[in-house]
Structure 1
Amino acid sequence: MDRIMEIIHVYKEVIAFALVGLLTLLILKRYWDEISFWLMDLGYGLPVIGRVVRLSKSLEFNAQSRWFHSEETLAQAYIDHYDKLHADPEYYDKCSSYLARAGETGRHPFAWYMWILVFAMVAIEAMGFSYVLAGFTIPGASENVLKLGALGISLLVSVLLVGFTHWTGKELYTNSLMAKARSWWSHDSRQGAKLVESDHEITIEKNNADDGEPKYVQLLNRVSATGDAEKRFNVTIGTAILVIAIAIGATWVRGIVLEREIQAETTGIVSQIKQGPSQSFYPSALTQPQAQADIKSVEDGNTLTREGGWGTFIVLAVIFVFMQIFGVLTGFKFGFVGKESPGAYDTVSRFKTRNAYEAHHKTRRTAILRTGGRRLLDLQQRLARNVRERGTTAEQKDAASHSESRDIHAYLERVLRQEDETDRKKVERDAANAAQRQSSAKPQIAPASPKIGEPISRPQPDQVGDIDIEETDEQMEARIRAEMRQEVEAGAEQARLRKEEERRAREAAIRARLQAQQAE
């Protein structure tokens, strides 16, 4: 422990810098959305060199949208952050359902302070035998070099052990989920039930794609990387070999060092006994028994030292092994194995209900629009001054003097309308492709050939529905085209109506928010 404290004292600046850097990275990761927005807004608002000042010098005008290009650039930057905070209550429900179907409801990630705790415990344990190993790795080195070597070996061993034990815990946890899926499958009485992953590509957005599948298939869709429910112990076996090898190797090296120290100490003491001053003044008959008694006493002491040392080494090896078992248990208890479970957890962990989730994002979206509106107004005022001084067209002059309708909310409505139009075209295109695939997949059944001498019987029109059996190929092709066109039109109309309802709801929400802001 004294050696460890000495190393910490010598390298306290390096350790402090590493801890501060780690804490900074964790804060950036946790609050990156807020920090990135703050930095962007700061970049726009700086005097003299800010982006608002630079954009105000550009008088390019978009005649189609009736907006200055600089206005569109600024508004789009804030709308991009606004879109990141689009709080869809259905998405919150999908995240909760995704975790439930992956069997990971109630689990928590492996927190950063737990990583530090586990790594520190393993590093402290590894420091002891790392110093011993450094003596053999760097023979003849000075004490300071040995300390550096011990620190490097300790870090290397700690990283390997922490990583492999955590990975092993995840593998064992995955195996427990596979066992659960196999148990569900064994109790499934349906004919032909298969314990394999379905063809659906399941994500959080497409979480409902396998609603009709059994629970074990839903679990495999989200957890299994190979599409089956087979248990695997590759990492577990590798980690066990690594831990046992280090435990035995470290104990053996410690034993060698102990034997070397005992031998060196015994040799020096025995030499002093045999060459002591009493050996030259008294007859050997008198001194020999005393010398043998002294040597016997030294050997008894060495035996006790050896037994105590080996007992200590065995205890340290047991502690080392159980510490790795603790690392495996933490990996089994914490963390996620679902393909998109971490993202789903990030969404639902901070909010107890979907209403809290929606309210939080609504507040932040309102703040973004308010900030963006102030920046846009500042830009428009600067543009108006520059147009008066350097403007060249009547359109620029008119647009600069009538900017009331070009606020951040108007730009948001414009973006939403463009997105709705894009979605509508995509739905129509998907419906057309689906209808085409459906029509091409219809089997063509050839009529059975009549036997020789058997009269040919033709089905009556009432036997084949509304299709005339006597229609020609051209008539059949025209009929099929008409059916396909009707299917496409029906699908497009349904999609259009659905999108129209969504657009009206969004417009109503925006208008209500604008009215509330005006009332304030």
Structure 2
Amino acid sequence: MDELKLFLASYWQLVSAFVGFMLLVLAIKVWWQEVRYLFMRTGWSLPLAGRLSRAAGKDHKLGNDGWYPIEKQVCHDFYVHYKDFNQSPDYYEKCADYLNKVEESGRKKKGPFLWLLIIGLILLEAVGFAYVLAPFMAKNASSNEQTMLAWFVAFLLSIAAVLLTELTGKEWHKNSLINKIRGWWEIEGKQSNLMPEKDISIEKTYQDNQSPKYLQVLNRLSANALVTPSYKTTVITLLYICFLAVGAYLVRSYTLDADNTEMVNQGMVFEQAAGTDPFALLEQSSAETSTTDDAIALPAELAEVNATADQKAANEATQARTSASKVTFVILSVIFVMIQVVGIYFGFAFSFAGKESEKAFNYTKDFNSAEELNEWLQLKKDLIAAQAEAYLQRLREKMSRRAVISSNDREALQSGSSDRTFHHYLVQHEQKKQISAAQLASSAQTAPIKATAAAAEVPSSPAVLVAVPEKAAELVDATGHTLPADLEGLDLTTLQDADLELLAEEYKLDLIWLKKQQRLAQIKNKARNA
């Protein structure tokens, strides 16, 4: 205990730096989303080097969509974080369903207590390695430099051991799921090929409700082509652990042998030096004279036996001390191995193998129902939207303070607070997503028809009739108004008046004509359903 106190008192700077670094890494890992969001906002709002400050000194031109590019960049950066909380109302049930189907319902991640325990184990391992490595690090360096270098190498070895054991535990958990898949597949009589049907995400978790259980797990798991367990990380970890455990034992053992040899050599040197030292010879002569006066001298045979007995006792003591030390070294190596076993268990018991299992867990761990999750998501969305609006306002203020600014730019900046808001950006982004989805669906529907038409024989009649697509016919009326090509698959009946106004402004369309087209589409839908 005293040695530990002395060590901490001597190298408290190193220990404090290590513990602080590990706590920082832990905080970043646990609160990564918040840290990433903080870094993004800091990058915009720094006083001199921030993007808002740099944007104030540049010339900006309005785009064809009526937005300044720098404004859209602000909205985009905030939208990257906004979309993480823009989930469907039944997202809680989807997350729970995803975890249940991948056989990871009820699992948990490592909490702060376990992470502190892991940091303590890393520190314990580093102390052991530092004691082993310090005498052999940079022989020409000073004692403090040797100790610091040994600590640095020991920390690297310990951190690598923790990472490998964590990955090994995750690999074992994943292998257990793969063994379940193969077991259920064999019970079902191997009715189908063992391959995933589709890539299932949280949003698509209900698409394989009718699939067998083993396929539900496989659809959410990354596996090799043969769906077999893999032990690559396990082999690497075992080799690493054995290398460190055996290496530490050998280093300690050889160091002990070297110390014993050095003690013997020092004893022989001391005896030789004493034989040539006049003061030592005078002291020895006085001792012999005193012995002759006070006692009877032993015969030569008895003196030789006595010297042999003394030497044997010294050898036995040295051998016993050496054996005890080596047993201690073995125990230390076993303790190191057991620490790694604990790390592997933590990785096995507190990890997720599903592609989006950890994400699903993060959205359900602190909530008991969908209502609680939705309220929290709405609060987060409102907070991000409010901050995005504040940053847009600060950007426009800085842009309006430029020394040279045209009247058109000034008017555009003044009207931007109402025409170009983060809410408008969200509406436009959602409409573009709907248009893209409609175009993709339309392409998927027309692809088989085009393939069939290309395979059919061309008639030999000289007159060729070109049919006008029905969609195109619906987009043109007698006044000559047409919808742009990228709005071809848009269902106008699903849009509200605000959406129509935004479309008319964005694509320079006649709002009255657009509402008329929406009404005609509604009438056609009613006629079809009648």
Task: Give, as a single letter, the amino acid of the residue that structure 2 aligns with 1:104.
Answer: E
Alignment correspondent of 1:32: 35
Q: When the two structures are aligned, how many residues end up with a matched partner?
A: 466
Alignment correspondent of 2:216: 218
C-alpha separation between the residues in 1 aligned to 2:310 and 2:347?
55
Q: What is the Cα deviation at residue 123 of structure 1?
A: 4.5
Deviates more, 1:72-81 or 1:235-244: 72-81
2:346 aligned with 1:337? no
Given that 1:92 and 1:354 are in contact with CA atoms closer than 8 Å, whether structure 2 keeps it comes out as: yes
Alignment correspondent of 1:434: 445
TM-score normalized by the length of structure 2 = 0.69
C-alpha separation between the residues in 1 aligned to 2:72 and 2:226?
50
1:296-315 correspondence to structure 2 within 5 Å: 296-315=312-331
Given that 2:91 and 2:370 are in contact with CA atoms closer than 8 Å, whether structure 1 keeps it comes out as: no
Alignment correspondent of 2:519: none
Task: Give, as a single letter, the amino acid of the residue that structure 2 aligns with 1:301.
Answer: A
Alignment correspondent of 2:194: 195
Alignment correspondent of 2:109: 109
1:157 alignment partner, SS class: helix
Alignment correspondent of 1:162: 162
Q: What is the Cα deviation at residue 262 of structure 1?
A: 3.4
C-alpha separation between the residues in 2 aligned to 1:53 and 1:144?
47
Q: 1:287 to 1:269 in 2, by over 3 A?
A: farther
Q: What is the Cα deviation at residue 157 of structure 1?
A: 2.7
Alignment correspondent of 2:254: 256
Deviates more, 1:55-64 or 1:299-308: 55-64
1:223-259 C-alpha deviation (Å, 9 max, x unpaired):
2331432122232233223323332332233223333
Q: What is the Cα deviation at residue 172 of structure 1?
A: 1.4
Q: 1:330 to 1:506 in 2, by over 3 A?
A: farther
Structure 2: 5+ residue stretches without partners: 475-485, 500-530
Q: 1:325 to 1:365 in 2, by over 3 A?
A: closer
C-alpha separation between the residues in 1 aligned to 2:57 and 2:250?
75
C-alpha separation between the residues in 1 aligned to 2:210 and 2:318?
74
Given that 1:164 and 1:239 are in contact with CA atoms closer than 8 Å, whether structure 2 keeps it comes out as: yes
1:435 alignment partner, SS class: helix
Alignment correspondent of 2:339: 323
Q: 1:2 to 1:437 in 2, by over 3 A?
A: farther
2:424 aligned with 1:424? no
1:89 alignment partner, SS class: coil
Task: Give, as a single letter, the amino acid of the residue that structure 2 aligns with 1:12.
Answer: W
2:305 aligned with 1:289? yes
1:336 alignment partner, SS class: coil
Q: What is the Cα deviation at residue 413 of structure 1?
A: 4.0
C-alpha separation between the residues in 1 aligned to 2:487 and 2:65?
29
C-alpha separation between the residues in 2 aligned to 1:18 and 1:505?
60
C-alpha separation between the residues in 2 aligned to 1:60 and 1:51?
16
1:109 alignment partner, SS class: coil
Q: 1:137 to 1:386 in 2, by over 3 A?
A: closer
TM-score normalized by the length of structure 1 = 0.70
Q: What is the Cα deviation at residue 185 of structure 1?
A: 0.7
1:31 alignment partner, SS class: helix
2:220 alignment partner, SS class: helix
C-alpha separation between the residues in 2 aligned to 1:62 and 1:242?
58
Alignment correspondent of 2:118: 118
C-alpha separation between the residues in 2 aligned to 1:156 and 1:404?
53
Of residues 344, 350, 354, the one that matches 2:370 is 354
Given that 1:376 and 1:407 are in contact with CA atoms closer than 8 Å, whether structure 2 keeps it comes out as: no
Deviates more, 1:271-280 or 1:313-322: 271-280
Given that 1:439 and 1:484 are in contact with CA atoms closer than 8 Å, whether structure 2 keeps it comes out as: no
C-alpha separation between the residues in 2 aligned to 1:390 and 1:136?
69
Q: What is the Cα deviation at residue 482 of structure 1?
A: 8.0
Q: What is the Cα deviation at residue 179 of structure 1?
A: 0.9
2:86 alignment partner, SS class: coil
Task: Give, as a single letter, the amino acid of the residue that structure 2 aligns with 1:117.
Answer: L
C-alpha separation between the residues in 2 aligned to 1:172 and 1:12?
38
C-alpha separation between the residues in 1 aligned to 2:240 and 2:413?
72
Structure 1: 5+ residue stretches without partners: 446-470, 508-520
Q: What is the Cα deviation at residue 298 of structure 1?
A: 1.6
Q: What is the Cα deviation at residue 272 of structure 1?
A: 7.7
C-alpha separation between the residues in 1 aligned to 2:497 and 2:369?
22
Q: What is the Cα deviation at residue 271 of structure 1?
A: 8.3
1:117-149 C-alpha deviation (Å, 9 max, x unpaired):
335425524543553444356557654344234
Task: Give, as a single letter, the amino acid of the residue that structure 2 aligns with 1:171.
Answer: E
1:43-101 C-alpha deviation (Å, 9 max, x unpaired):
6xx79x99499769979667974x78887776666666544532323444443333333
Alignment correspondent of 2:516: none
Q: 1:406 to 1:335 in 2, by over 3 A?
A: same
Q: What is the Cα deviation at residue 106 of structure 1?
A: 2.4
Alignment correspondent of 1:241: 239
Given that 1:7 and 1:147 are in contact with CA atoms closer than 8 Å, whether structure 2 keeps it comes out as: no
C-alpha separation between the residues in 2 aligned to 1:242 and 1:378?
54
Q: 1:437 to 1:370 in 2, by over 3 A?
A: same
Given that 1:436 and 1:484 are in contact with CA atoms closer than 8 Å, whether structure 2 keeps it comes out as: no
C-alpha separation between the residues in 1 aligned to 2:229 and 2:13?
46
Q: 1:361 to 1:42 in 2, by over 3 A?
A: farther
C-alpha separation between the residues in 1 aligned to 2:36 and 2:271?
77
1:354-393 correspondence to structure 2 within 5 Å: 354-371=370-387, 392=407
Given that 1:56 and 1:70 are in contact with CA atoms closer than 8 Å, whether structure 2 keeps it comes out as: no
2:348 alignment partner, SS class: helix
Alignment correspondent of 2:99: 99
